[in-house]
Structure 1
Amino acid sequence: MTTLQSTTPLQLHHLHLHSESPGQLAEFYRNLFELDAVSAPDGIYGLTGGERAIVIHPGASGELAMAAYAARTREELSLLRERLSDVARDGGIGSEVFFEPGAFSVTDPQGRRLLFGVPRTRRRPDRMAARLQHTVFQTTDLATIVDFYVNRVGFAISDEVVADDGSITTCFLRSDDEHHTLAFFQGSNNVWDHHCYETGSWNDIRDWGDRFAKVRRGIFFGPGRHGPGNNLFFMITDPDGNRVELSAELEHVRAEQSPGVWPHEEHTLNSWGRGWIRT
Protein backbone atom coordinates (compact mmCIF):
# COMPACT_ATOMS: atom_id res chain seq x y z
CA MET A 1 0.00 0.00 0.00
CA THR A 2 1.20 3.53 -0.82
CA THR A 3 1.65 5.55 2.36
CA LEU A 4 2.54 9.16 2.98
CA GLN A 5 5.40 8.08 5.22
CA SER A 6 7.12 6.12 2.46
CA THR A 7 6.42 8.33 -0.56
CA THR A 8 5.43 11.91 0.36
CA PRO A 9 5.99 12.53 4.09
CA LEU A 10 3.97 15.34 5.63
CA GLN A 11 4.29 17.34 8.86
CA LEU A 12 1.49 19.30 10.49
CA HIS A 13 2.50 22.89 9.71
CA HIS A 14 -0.32 25.17 10.88
CA LEU A 15 -4.01 25.29 11.78
CA HIS A 16 -6.94 27.36 10.55
CA LEU A 17 -9.23 28.10 13.51
CA HIS A 18 -12.66 29.72 13.59
CA SER A 19 -13.43 32.14 16.42
CA GLU A 20 -16.25 34.47 17.41
CA SER A 21 -13.57 36.67 19.04
CA PRO A 22 -10.65 36.31 16.62
CA GLY A 23 -8.74 39.29 17.99
CA GLN A 24 -8.82 37.95 21.53
CA LEU A 25 -7.79 34.48 20.42
CA ALA A 26 -4.99 35.91 18.28
CA GLU A 27 -3.71 37.87 21.27
CA PHE A 28 -3.56 34.69 23.37
CA TYR A 29 -1.44 32.82 20.85
CA ARG A 30 0.65 35.89 20.05
CA ASN A 31 1.59 36.41 23.69
CA LEU A 32 1.71 32.92 25.16
CA PHE A 33 3.25 31.18 22.13
CA GLU A 34 5.45 34.11 21.05
CA LEU A 35 4.01 34.52 17.56
CA ASP A 36 4.29 37.47 15.18
CA ALA A 37 1.59 38.76 12.84
CA VAL A 38 2.03 38.19 9.10
CA SER A 39 0.17 39.52 6.08
CA ALA A 40 -3.25 37.87 5.62
CA PRO A 41 -6.54 38.59 3.81
CA ASP A 42 -8.83 41.16 5.44
CA GLY A 43 -10.52 39.90 8.59
CA ILE A 44 -8.09 36.99 9.01
CA TYR A 45 -5.23 36.78 11.48
CA GLY A 46 -2.01 35.03 10.49
CA LEU A 47 0.50 34.37 13.26
CA THR A 48 3.81 32.54 13.16
CA GLY A 49 6.90 31.83 15.21
CA GLY A 50 9.63 29.41 14.26
CA GLU A 51 7.94 26.00 14.34
CA ARG A 52 4.37 26.99 15.14
CA ALA A 53 1.81 28.96 13.16
CA ILE A 54 -1.92 29.62 13.15
CA VAL A 55 -4.56 31.26 10.97
CA ILE A 56 -7.70 32.57 12.68
CA HIS A 57 -10.91 33.19 10.73
CA PRO A 58 -14.10 34.80 12.06
CA GLY A 59 -16.70 32.08 12.69
CA ALA A 60 -18.14 29.77 15.30
CA SER A 61 -15.69 29.28 18.16
CA GLY A 62 -14.33 25.81 18.77
CA GLU A 63 -14.25 24.76 15.12
CA LEU A 64 -11.14 23.84 13.16
CA ALA A 65 -11.52 25.12 9.62
CA MET A 66 -8.49 23.25 8.26
CA ALA A 67 -5.40 21.40 9.41
CA ALA A 68 -2.51 22.29 7.11
CA TYR A 69 0.17 19.70 6.33
CA ALA A 70 3.50 20.58 4.71
CA ALA A 71 5.17 18.59 1.95
CA ARG A 72 8.97 18.72 1.70
CA THR A 73 9.16 19.78 -1.95
CA ARG A 74 7.00 20.99 -4.83
CA GLU A 75 7.69 17.70 -6.59
CA GLU A 76 6.32 15.66 -3.70
CA LEU A 77 3.28 17.92 -3.42
CA SER A 78 2.62 17.46 -7.13
CA LEU A 79 2.91 13.68 -6.76
CA LEU A 80 0.44 13.76 -3.86
CA ARG A 81 -2.02 15.93 -5.77
CA GLU A 82 -1.88 13.60 -8.74
CA ARG A 83 -2.65 10.63 -6.51
CA LEU A 84 -5.56 12.51 -4.86
CA SER A 85 -6.77 14.19 -8.06
CA ASP A 86 -10.38 13.00 -7.72
CA VAL A 87 -10.77 14.52 -4.23
CA ALA A 88 -8.34 17.47 -4.47
CA ARG A 89 -9.89 20.94 -4.39
CA ASP A 90 -8.68 24.55 -4.24
CA GLY A 91 -7.13 25.52 -0.92
CA GLY A 92 -9.54 28.41 -0.41
CA ILE A 93 -9.24 31.69 1.46
CA GLY A 94 -6.13 31.96 3.59
CA SER A 95 -4.40 28.97 2.01
CA GLU A 96 -1.47 31.11 0.85
CA VAL A 97 -0.79 32.82 4.18
CA PHE A 98 1.94 30.26 4.90
CA PHE A 99 1.94 28.06 1.79
CA GLU A 100 3.19 28.75 -1.72
CA PRO A 101 0.63 28.95 -4.56
CA GLY A 102 -0.54 25.48 -5.53
CA ALA A 103 -1.77 24.31 -2.12
CA PHE A 104 -4.85 22.10 -2.27
CA SER A 105 -7.37 20.64 0.16
CA VAL A 106 -9.29 17.41 0.64
CA THR A 107 -12.51 16.97 2.59
CA ASP A 108 -13.30 13.78 4.48
CA PRO A 109 -16.75 12.07 4.52
CA GLN A 110 -17.80 14.09 7.59
CA GLY A 111 -16.66 17.48 6.29
CA ARG A 112 -13.24 17.94 7.89
CA ARG A 113 -10.69 19.65 5.64
CA LEU A 114 -6.97 19.06 5.34
CA LEU A 115 -4.77 21.48 3.42
CA PHE A 116 -1.58 20.32 1.71
CA GLY A 117 1.15 22.67 0.52
CA VAL A 118 4.79 23.73 0.51
CA PRO A 119 5.80 26.35 3.10
CA ARG A 120 6.82 29.79 1.88
CA THR A 121 9.68 29.93 4.39
CA ARG A 122 11.77 27.39 6.27
CA ARG A 123 11.07 26.92 9.96
CA ARG A 124 13.58 28.13 12.54
CA PRO A 125 14.06 27.17 16.20
CA ASP A 126 11.84 28.92 18.74
CA ARG A 127 13.12 30.47 21.96
CA MET A 128 10.87 28.02 23.83
CA ALA A 129 10.68 24.70 21.98
CA ALA A 130 7.14 23.63 21.05
CA ARG A 131 6.63 22.54 17.44
CA LEU A 132 3.06 22.20 16.22
CA GLN A 133 2.88 18.44 15.77
CA HIS A 134 -0.58 16.81 15.73
CA THR A 135 -4.30 17.38 15.91
CA VAL A 136 -7.13 15.10 17.04
CA PHE A 137 -10.88 14.81 16.39
CA GLN A 138 -13.85 12.96 17.80
CA THR A 139 -16.03 11.17 15.26
CA THR A 140 -19.33 9.29 15.28
CA ASP A 141 -18.11 6.92 12.55
CA LEU A 142 -14.52 5.92 13.27
CA ALA A 143 -14.40 3.05 10.75
CA THR A 144 -15.43 5.22 7.78
CA ILE A 145 -13.08 8.05 8.72
CA VAL A 146 -10.06 5.80 9.27
CA ASP A 147 -10.75 4.05 5.97
CA PHE A 148 -10.68 7.42 4.17
CA TYR A 149 -7.47 8.67 5.75
CA VAL A 150 -5.63 5.35 5.44
CA ASN A 151 -6.85 3.87 2.17
CA ARG A 152 -7.48 7.10 0.27
CA VAL A 153 -5.11 9.74 1.64
CA GLY A 154 -2.28 7.45 2.74
CA PHE A 155 -1.89 7.85 6.50
CA ALA A 156 -0.60 4.75 8.33
CA ILE A 157 -2.00 3.32 11.57
CA SER A 158 0.48 3.42 14.46
CA ASP A 159 -1.77 2.26 17.31
CA GLU A 160 -5.39 1.33 17.96
CA VAL A 161 -7.31 1.32 21.23
CA VAL A 162 -9.79 -1.56 21.46
CA ALA A 163 -12.78 -2.00 23.80
CA ASP A 164 -13.70 -5.26 25.55
CA ASP A 165 -16.21 -6.05 22.80
CA GLY A 166 -13.49 -5.81 20.14
CA SER A 167 -14.59 -2.45 18.72
CA ILE A 168 -11.91 0.12 17.94
CA THR A 169 -12.36 3.30 20.00
CA THR A 170 -9.25 5.28 19.03
CA CYS A 171 -6.88 5.30 16.05
CA PHE A 172 -3.52 7.08 15.86
CA LEU A 173 -2.35 7.90 12.32
CA ARG A 174 1.07 8.96 11.06
CA SER A 175 2.12 10.85 7.94
CA ASP A 176 5.87 10.65 8.57
CA ASP A 177 8.11 8.85 11.09
CA GLU A 178 6.43 10.36 14.18
CA HIS A 179 3.88 8.20 15.98
CA HIS A 180 0.90 10.35 14.99
CA THR A 181 0.19 13.64 13.30
CA LEU A 182 -3.56 12.94 13.27
CA ALA A 183 -5.84 10.85 15.49
CA PHE A 184 -9.53 10.05 15.96
CA PHE A 185 -11.64 9.03 18.95
CA GLN A 186 -15.00 7.32 18.59
CA GLY A 187 -17.46 9.71 20.24
CA SER A 188 -21.05 10.90 20.33
CA ASN A 189 -20.28 14.06 18.29
CA ASN A 190 -18.17 15.12 15.33
CA VAL A 191 -15.98 17.75 16.98
CA TRP A 192 -12.43 18.96 17.15
CA ASP A 193 -10.75 17.43 20.20
CA HIS A 194 -7.34 19.11 20.61
CA HIS A 195 -4.06 20.10 19.03
CA CYS A 196 -0.54 19.47 20.29
CA TYR A 197 2.92 21.06 20.40
CA GLU A 198 5.96 18.79 20.72
CA THR A 199 8.72 20.10 22.99
CA GLY A 200 12.26 18.80 23.43
CA SER A 201 12.27 17.35 26.93
CA TRP A 202 10.58 17.02 30.32
CA ASN A 203 12.24 20.29 31.36
CA ASP A 204 10.44 22.01 28.48
CA ILE A 205 7.14 20.61 29.76
CA ARG A 206 7.99 22.11 33.15
CA ASP A 207 8.86 25.49 31.64
CA TRP A 208 5.62 25.66 29.65
CA GLY A 209 3.64 24.73 32.75
CA ASP A 210 5.31 27.61 34.63
CA ARG A 211 4.58 29.95 31.72
CA PHE A 212 0.86 29.19 31.77
CA ALA A 213 0.81 29.38 35.58
CA LYS A 214 2.02 32.99 35.45
CA VAL A 215 -1.16 33.99 33.62
CA ARG A 216 -3.37 31.75 35.82
CA ARG A 217 -4.14 29.30 33.02
CA GLY A 218 -4.15 26.01 34.86
CA ILE A 219 -3.66 22.46 33.63
CA PHE A 220 -6.92 20.49 33.26
CA PHE A 221 -5.45 17.12 32.18
CA GLY A 222 -2.05 15.78 33.22
CA PRO A 223 0.81 15.91 33.63
CA GLY A 224 1.14 12.30 32.62
CA ARG A 225 2.33 9.85 30.01
CA HIS A 226 0.22 8.43 27.21
CA GLY A 227 0.42 4.72 26.35
CA PRO A 228 0.17 5.04 22.55
CA GLY A 229 3.07 7.25 21.54
CA ASN A 230 4.67 7.03 25.01
CA ASN A 231 4.77 10.83 25.21
CA LEU A 232 4.77 13.03 28.29
CA PHE A 233 1.98 15.60 28.23
CA PHE A 234 -0.33 18.09 29.85
CA MET A 235 -3.31 20.05 28.52
CA ILE A 236 -4.72 23.54 28.96
CA THR A 237 -7.51 25.43 27.17
CA ASP A 238 -7.31 28.65 25.15
CA PRO A 239 -9.83 31.54 25.52
CA ASP A 240 -12.28 29.81 23.13
CA GLY A 241 -12.12 26.57 25.11
CA ASN A 242 -9.99 24.79 22.52
CA ARG A 243 -7.81 22.13 24.13
CA VAL A 244 -4.06 22.61 23.77
CA GLU A 245 -1.55 19.87 24.56
CA LEU A 246 2.16 20.21 25.29
CA SER A 247 4.11 16.99 24.70
CA ALA A 248 7.61 15.50 24.82
CA GLU A 249 9.32 12.25 23.81
CA LEU A 250 6.77 11.18 21.20
CA GLU A 251 7.80 7.86 19.66
CA HIS A 252 9.02 7.38 16.11
CA VAL A 253 7.65 4.46 14.10
CA ARG A 254 9.25 2.50 11.26
CA ALA A 255 7.33 2.33 8.00
CA GLU A 256 7.12 -1.47 8.18
CA GLN A 257 6.01 -1.60 11.82
CA SER A 258 2.64 -3.25 12.53
CA PRO A 259 0.00 -1.27 14.47
CA GLY A 260 -0.04 -1.70 18.23
CA VAL A 261 -3.19 -2.63 20.14
CA TRP A 262 -4.11 -1.09 23.50
CA PRO A 263 -7.02 -1.76 25.88
CA HIS A 264 -9.69 0.94 26.29
CA GLU A 265 -8.89 1.98 29.87
CA GLU A 266 -7.56 4.92 31.86
CA HIS A 267 -4.06 3.46 32.06
CA THR A 268 -3.78 3.57 28.26
CA LEU A 269 -4.60 7.29 28.14
CA ASN A 270 -2.48 8.18 31.15
CA SER A 271 -0.17 5.60 32.71
CA TRP A 272 0.51 8.03 35.58
CA GLY A 273 -3.07 8.39 36.77
CA ARG A 274 -6.43 9.76 35.71
CA GLY A 275 -7.41 9.28 32.10
CA TRP A 276 -9.86 11.35 30.10
CA ILE A 277 -12.21 8.91 28.40
CA ARG A 278 -14.18 10.43 25.52
CA THR A 279 -17.88 9.49 25.30
Structure 2
Amino acid sequence: MQTLQTSTPARLCYLHLASKAPQQQVDFYRRLLDMDSQAQADGSWLLQGPQRAMLVSPADHSGLLAAAYDLGSPTSLSLLRARLTERGCAIDAIDSPLLEAGAFQIRDPQGRQTVFGVSRGTPGSLLPGMPGRLQHVVFQTTELEAMIDFYVNTVGFTVSDTVVDQQSGQLTTCFLRSDDEHHSLAFFRGSKNEWDHHCYETNEWNDIRDWGDRFAKERITLFFGPGRHGPGNNLFFMVVDADRNRLEFSAELEITEASRPAGVWPQEEYTLNSWGRAWIRS
Protein backbone atom coordinates (compact mmCIF):
# COMPACT_ATOMS: atom_id res chain seq x y z
CA MET A 1 0.00 0.00 0.00
CA GLN A 2 1.20 3.49 -0.81
CA THR A 3 2.00 5.56 2.25
CA LEU A 4 2.59 9.23 2.92
CA GLN A 5 6.28 8.52 3.49
CA THR A 6 6.85 6.60 0.26
CA SER A 7 4.64 8.52 -2.17
CA THR A 8 3.48 11.88 -0.79
CA PRO A 9 5.63 12.89 2.21
CA ALA A 10 3.87 15.32 4.52
CA ARG A 11 5.38 17.59 7.17
CA LEU A 12 3.51 19.37 9.94
CA CYS A 13 3.54 23.09 9.09
CA TYR A 14 1.11 24.89 11.42
CA LEU A 15 -1.53 24.51 14.11
CA HIS A 16 -4.88 26.26 14.45
CA LEU A 17 -5.65 26.96 18.11
CA ALA A 18 -8.79 28.12 19.85
CA SER A 19 -8.32 30.36 22.87
CA LYS A 20 -10.54 31.89 25.52
CA ALA A 21 -7.84 34.52 26.08
CA PRO A 22 -6.30 34.97 22.61
CA GLN A 23 -4.31 38.09 23.43
CA GLN A 24 -2.49 36.33 26.29
CA GLN A 25 -1.84 33.33 24.06
CA VAL A 26 -0.52 35.49 21.23
CA ASP A 27 1.71 37.38 23.66
CA PHE A 28 3.13 34.10 24.99
CA TYR A 29 4.18 32.81 21.57
CA ARG A 30 5.38 36.21 20.41
CA ARG A 31 7.53 36.73 23.48
CA LEU A 32 8.80 33.22 24.15
CA LEU A 33 8.87 31.59 20.70
CA ASP A 34 9.99 34.58 18.62
CA MET A 35 6.79 34.66 16.56
CA ASP A 36 5.54 37.78 14.79
CA SER A 37 1.76 38.30 14.92
CA GLN A 38 -0.73 39.75 12.47
CA ALA A 39 -4.39 40.37 13.21
CA GLN A 40 -6.71 38.81 10.60
CA ALA A 41 -10.02 40.13 9.28
CA ASP A 42 -11.98 37.31 10.96
CA GLY A 43 -10.65 38.22 14.42
CA SER A 44 -7.99 35.53 14.54
CA TRP A 45 -4.23 36.01 14.75
CA LEU A 46 -1.55 34.68 12.41
CA LEU A 47 1.76 33.96 14.12
CA GLN A 48 4.99 33.08 12.34
CA GLY A 49 8.51 32.37 13.57
CA PRO A 50 11.53 30.47 12.25
CA GLN A 51 10.03 27.26 10.75
CA ARG A 52 6.89 27.49 12.90
CA ALA A 53 3.47 29.01 12.44
CA MET A 54 0.11 29.14 14.17
CA LEU A 55 -3.39 30.53 13.85
CA VAL A 56 -5.12 31.57 17.09
CA SER A 57 -8.88 32.15 17.04
CA PRO A 58 -11.00 33.53 19.90
CA ALA A 59 -13.46 30.93 21.21
CA ASP A 60 -15.41 29.86 24.27
CA HIS A 61 -12.85 27.11 24.87
CA SER A 62 -9.12 26.59 24.47
CA GLY A 63 -7.39 23.83 22.55
CA LEU A 64 -6.49 22.57 19.10
CA LEU A 65 -8.88 23.13 16.19
CA ALA A 66 -6.72 21.60 13.45
CA ALA A 67 -3.22 20.44 12.55
CA ALA A 68 -2.00 21.28 9.04
CA TYR A 69 0.48 19.30 6.93
CA ASP A 70 2.48 20.56 3.95
CA LEU A 71 2.64 18.15 0.97
CA GLY A 72 5.36 20.17 -0.74
CA SER A 73 3.82 20.32 -4.24
CA PRO A 74 0.40 20.51 -5.96
CA THR A 75 1.12 17.15 -7.59
CA SER A 76 1.58 15.40 -4.26
CA LEU A 77 -1.51 17.11 -2.85
CA SER A 78 -3.60 15.92 -5.82
CA LEU A 79 -2.32 12.36 -5.42
CA LEU A 80 -3.23 12.38 -1.74
CA ARG A 81 -6.68 13.79 -2.45
CA ALA A 82 -7.29 11.03 -5.00
CA ARG A 83 -6.17 8.29 -2.57
CA LEU A 84 -8.35 9.64 0.23
CA THR A 85 -11.35 9.86 -2.09
CA GLU A 86 -10.74 6.29 -3.28
CA ARG A 87 -10.68 5.13 0.34
CA GLY A 88 -14.00 6.80 1.10
CA CYS A 89 -12.69 9.71 3.19
CA ALA A 90 -14.85 12.86 3.17
CA ILE A 91 -12.91 15.94 2.04
CA ASP A 92 -13.79 19.60 2.57
CA ALA A 93 -12.14 22.56 0.87
CA ILE A 94 -10.49 25.09 3.15
CA ASP A 95 -8.95 28.55 2.76
CA SER A 96 -5.84 29.26 4.81
CA PRO A 97 -3.52 32.27 4.84
CA LEU A 98 -0.60 29.84 5.16
CA LEU A 99 -1.49 27.48 2.28
CA GLU A 100 -1.85 27.78 -1.48
CA ALA A 101 -5.28 27.39 -3.10
CA GLY A 102 -6.50 23.79 -3.22
CA ALA A 103 -5.98 22.92 0.45
CA PHE A 104 -8.50 20.62 2.09
CA GLN A 105 -9.36 19.12 5.46
CA ILE A 106 -10.55 15.74 6.72
CA ARG A 107 -12.01 14.55 10.02
CA ASP A 108 -11.13 11.35 11.81
CA PRO A 109 -13.83 9.14 13.38
CA GLN A 110 -13.65 11.17 16.61
CA GLY A 111 -13.94 14.52 14.83
CA ARG A 112 -10.32 15.72 14.85
CA GLN A 113 -9.54 17.97 11.90
CA THR A 114 -6.42 17.54 9.78
CA VAL A 115 -5.56 19.96 6.98
CA PHE A 116 -3.45 19.10 3.93
CA GLY A 117 -2.08 21.66 1.52
CA VAL A 118 0.98 23.25 -0.04
CA SER A 119 2.71 25.83 2.12
CA ARG A 120 3.06 29.36 0.77
CA GLY A 121 6.67 29.19 1.94
CA THR A 122 8.72 28.11 4.93
CA PRO A 123 7.03 29.84 7.90
CA GLY A 124 9.08 32.75 9.19
CA SER A 125 12.12 31.72 7.16
CA LEU A 126 13.53 35.25 7.21
CA LEU A 127 12.60 36.00 10.82
CA PRO A 128 15.25 35.91 13.57
CA GLY A 129 14.81 33.62 16.52
CA MET A 130 15.89 30.45 18.26
CA PRO A 131 15.68 27.18 16.29
CA GLY A 132 12.50 25.15 16.78
CA ARG A 133 10.69 23.67 13.78
CA LEU A 134 7.08 22.67 14.41
CA GLN A 135 7.38 18.89 14.14
CA HIS A 136 4.65 16.75 15.70
CA VAL A 137 1.28 16.71 17.42
CA VAL A 138 -0.04 14.14 19.92
CA PHE A 139 -3.50 13.22 21.20
CA GLN A 140 -5.07 11.08 23.90
CA THR A 141 -7.94 8.86 22.76
CA THR A 142 -10.42 6.38 24.17
CA GLU A 143 -10.42 4.47 20.86
CA LEU A 144 -6.75 3.86 20.08
CA GLU A 145 -7.19 0.97 17.65
CA ALA A 146 -9.80 2.86 15.61
CA MET A 147 -7.51 5.90 15.36
CA ILE A 148 -4.58 3.77 14.20
CA ASP A 149 -6.77 2.06 11.59
CA PHE A 150 -7.97 5.40 10.20
CA TYR A 151 -4.64 7.18 10.07
CA VAL A 152 -2.76 4.15 8.68
CA ASN A 153 -5.25 2.51 6.32
CA THR A 154 -7.17 5.59 5.18
CA VAL A 155 -4.72 8.49 5.40
CA GLY A 156 -1.44 6.61 4.87
CA PHE A 157 0.63 7.20 8.00
CA THR A 158 3.13 4.46 8.94
CA VAL A 159 3.52 2.95 12.42
CA SER A 160 7.05 3.58 13.72
CA ASP A 161 6.69 2.22 17.26
CA THR A 162 4.01 1.00 19.63
CA VAL A 163 3.95 0.68 23.42
CA VAL A 164 2.22 -2.32 25.01
CA ASP A 165 1.16 -3.08 28.59
CA GLN A 166 3.02 -6.32 29.28
CA GLN A 167 0.51 -7.60 31.85
CA SER A 168 -2.66 -7.12 29.81
CA GLY A 169 -1.17 -7.15 26.31
CA GLN A 170 -3.13 -3.97 25.59
CA LEU A 171 -1.74 -1.40 23.19
CA THR A 172 -1.22 1.92 25.01
CA THR A 173 0.63 4.20 22.56
CA CYS A 174 1.30 4.46 18.84
CA PHE A 175 3.82 6.69 17.04
CA LEU A 176 3.05 7.45 13.37
CA ARG A 177 5.23 8.95 10.66
CA SER A 178 4.34 10.86 7.49
CA ASP A 179 7.89 11.27 6.14
CA ASP A 180 11.34 10.05 7.21
CA GLU A 181 11.11 11.43 10.75
CA HIS A 182 10.11 8.95 13.44
CA HIS A 183 6.73 10.54 14.10
CA SER A 184 4.71 13.60 13.20
CA LEU A 185 1.59 12.23 14.93
CA ALA A 186 1.04 10.00 17.97
CA PHE A 187 -1.80 8.71 20.12
CA PHE A 188 -1.92 7.64 23.78
CA ARG A 189 -4.76 5.56 25.15
CA GLY A 190 -6.49 7.68 27.78
CA SER A 191 -9.74 8.24 29.63
CA LYS A 192 -10.45 11.37 27.55
CA ASN A 193 -10.34 12.42 23.92
CA GLU A 194 -8.11 15.46 24.03
CA TRP A 195 -5.07 17.19 22.63
CA ASP A 196 -1.99 15.97 24.48
CA HIS A 197 0.84 18.21 23.25
CA HIS A 198 2.74 19.57 20.26
CA CYS A 199 6.48 19.69 19.66
CA TYR A 200 9.25 21.88 18.22
CA GLU A 201 12.38 20.13 16.91
CA THR A 202 15.65 21.94 17.60
CA ASN A 203 19.10 21.23 16.19
CA GLU A 204 21.06 19.84 19.15
CA TRP A 205 21.33 19.44 22.91
CA ASN A 206 22.65 22.99 23.35
CA ASP A 207 19.38 24.29 21.88
CA ILE A 208 17.44 22.31 24.49
CA ARG A 209 19.58 24.04 27.12
CA ASP A 210 18.98 27.48 25.62
CA TRP A 211 15.20 27.00 25.40
CA GLY A 212 15.21 25.80 29.01
CA ASP A 213 17.11 28.92 30.06
CA ARG A 214 14.63 31.12 28.21
CA PHE A 215 11.67 29.66 30.09
CA ALA A 216 13.60 29.79 33.36
CA LYS A 217 14.05 33.55 32.95
CA GLU A 218 10.28 33.86 32.76
CA ARG A 219 9.88 31.63 35.86
CA ILE A 220 8.14 28.99 33.73
CA THR A 221 9.04 25.62 35.20
CA LEU A 222 9.35 22.41 33.20
CA PHE A 223 6.26 20.21 33.13
CA PHE A 224 8.15 17.03 32.11
CA GLY A 225 11.85 16.36 31.53
CA PRO A 226 14.54 16.99 30.60
CA GLY A 227 15.01 13.44 29.43
CA ARG A 228 15.21 11.10 26.47
CA HIS A 229 12.29 9.18 24.99
CA GLY A 230 12.70 5.52 24.05
CA PRO A 231 10.56 5.59 20.88
CA GLY A 232 12.16 8.21 18.66
CA ASN A 233 15.30 8.40 20.86
CA ASN A 234 14.90 12.17 21.14
CA LEU A 235 15.98 14.51 23.90
CA PHE A 236 13.12 16.60 25.25
CA PHE A 237 11.40 18.73 27.84
CA MET A 238 7.86 20.10 28.16
CA VAL A 239 6.28 23.32 29.42
CA VAL A 240 2.77 24.79 29.20
CA ASP A 241 1.63 27.91 27.32
CA ALA A 242 -0.73 30.68 28.45
CA ASP A 243 -3.78 28.43 27.98
CA ARG A 244 -2.08 25.50 29.78
CA ASN A 245 -1.59 23.61 26.51
CA ARG A 246 1.52 21.42 26.66
CA LEU A 247 4.41 22.06 24.30
CA GLU A 248 7.60 20.06 23.90
CA PHE A 249 11.11 20.93 22.72
CA SER A 250 13.05 18.07 21.15
CA ALA A 251 16.39 17.24 19.53
CA GLU A 252 17.92 14.23 17.78
CA LEU A 253 14.62 12.66 16.70
CA GLU A 254 15.26 9.38 14.90
CA ILE A 255 15.26 9.29 11.08
CA THR A 256 13.33 6.19 10.03
CA GLU A 257 13.70 4.29 6.74
CA ALA A 258 10.49 3.22 5.02
CA SER A 259 11.52 -0.45 5.27
CA ARG A 260 12.05 -0.37 9.04
CA PRO A 261 9.56 -2.66 10.84
CA ALA A 262 7.49 -1.18 13.66
CA GLY A 263 9.09 -1.51 17.09
CA VAL A 264 7.34 -2.62 20.26
CA TRP A 265 8.16 -1.11 23.66
CA PRO A 266 6.94 -2.08 27.15
CA GLN A 267 4.65 0.32 29.01
CA GLU A 268 7.01 1.60 31.71
CA GLU A 269 8.66 4.82 32.80
CA TYR A 270 11.97 3.92 31.12
CA THR A 271 10.22 3.79 27.72
CA LEU A 272 8.86 7.32 28.04
CA ASN A 273 11.95 8.73 29.75
CA SER A 274 15.13 6.66 29.88
CA TRP A 275 16.67 9.29 32.17
CA GLY A 276 14.18 9.07 35.00
CA ARG A 277 10.58 9.73 35.98
CA ALA A 278 7.89 9.80 33.29
CA TRP A 279 4.45 11.25 32.78
CA ILE A 280 2.17 8.22 32.39
CA ARG A 281 -1.20 9.04 30.79
CA SER A 282 -4.30 7.50 32.34
| Separation in structure 1 between the aligned mates of residue 104 and residue 155 of structure 2, nearest angstrom | 13
1:154 aligns with one of 153, 156, 160:
156
1:135 corresponds to 2:134: no
1:260 corresponds to 2:268: no
Q: Which runs of 5+ in 1 are unaligned?
A: none
Deviation digits for residues 131-180 of structure 1 (CA, Å, limit 9, x no counterpart): 00000000000000100000000000000000022111000000000000
| Separation in structure 2 between the aligned mates of residue 222 and residue 102 of structure 1, nearest angstrom | 40
CA drift at 1:51: 0.2
- Name the residue aligned to 1:114: 114
Tell me the amino acid that sits aligned with residue 267 of structure 2: H
**1:267 match: secondary structure:** helix
1:244 corresponds to 2:266: no
| Separation in structure 2 between the aligned mates of residue 251 and residue 19 of structure 1, nearest angstrom | 33
2:190 aligns with one of 168, 187, 190:
187
CA drift at 1:60: 4.0
- Name the residue aligned to 2:57: 57
| Separation in structure 2 between the aligned mates of residue 206 and residue 91 of structure 1, nearest angstrom | 41
Cα 1:91–1:45 shift into 2, 3 Å: farther
Deviation digits for residues 212-255 of structure 1 (CA, Å, limit 9, x no counterpart): 11111110110000000000000000010100100000001000
Task: Give the stretch that moved more between structures: 52-61 or 110-119.
Answer: 52-61
CA drift at 1:83: 1.1
TM-score (ref. length: structure 1): 0.96
1:140/1:187 contact within 8 Å kept: yes
| Separation in structure 1 between the aligned mates of residue 103 and residue 209 of structure 2, nearest angstrom | 37
Aligned pairs for 1:1-279 (under 5 A) are 1-38=1-38, 40-85=40-85, 86-92=88-94, 95-123=95-123, 124=125, 127-164=129-166, 165-279=168-282
Cα 1:58–1:39 shift into 2, 3 Å: closer
CA drift at 1:115: 0.2
Tell me the amino acid that sits aligned with residue 259 of structure 1: A
CA drift at 1:204: 0.1
| Separation in structure 2 between the aligned mates of residue 6 and residue 273 of structure 1, nearest angstrom | 36
| Separation in structure 2 between the aligned mates of residue 138 and residue 158 of structure 1, nearest angstrom | 18
| Separation in structure 2 between the aligned mates of residue 40 and residue 11 of structure 1, nearest angstrom | 25
Q: Which runs of 5+ in 2 are unaligned?
A: none
**1:84 match: secondary structure:** helix
2:37/2:45 contact within 8 Å kept: yes
Cα 1:77–1:248 shift into 2, 3 Å: same
CA drift at 1:41: 3.5
CA drift at 1:40: 2.9
| Separation in structure 2 between the aligned mates of residue 227 and residue 201 of structure 1, nearest angstrom | 17
CA drift at 1:36: 1.2
Tell me the amino acid that sits aligned with residue 154 of structure 1: G
| Separation in structure 2 between the aligned mates of residue 91 and residue 199 of structure 1, nearest angstrom | 32
| Separation in structure 2 between the aligned mates of residue 227 and residue 113 of structure 1, nearest angstrom | 28
1:158/1:172 contact within 8 Å kept: yes
CA drift at 1:88: 4.1
1:44/1:56 contact within 8 Å kept: yes
2:70/2:117 contact within 8 Å kept: yes
Deviation digits for residues 86-105 of structure 1 (CA, Å, limit 9, x no counterpart): 4243344xx41100111100
| Separation in structure 1 between the aligned mates of residue 222 and residue 22 of structure 2, nearest angstrom | 23
CA drift at 1:22: 0.9
| Separation in structure 2 between the aligned mates of residue 240 and residue 71 of structure 1, nearest angstrom | 30
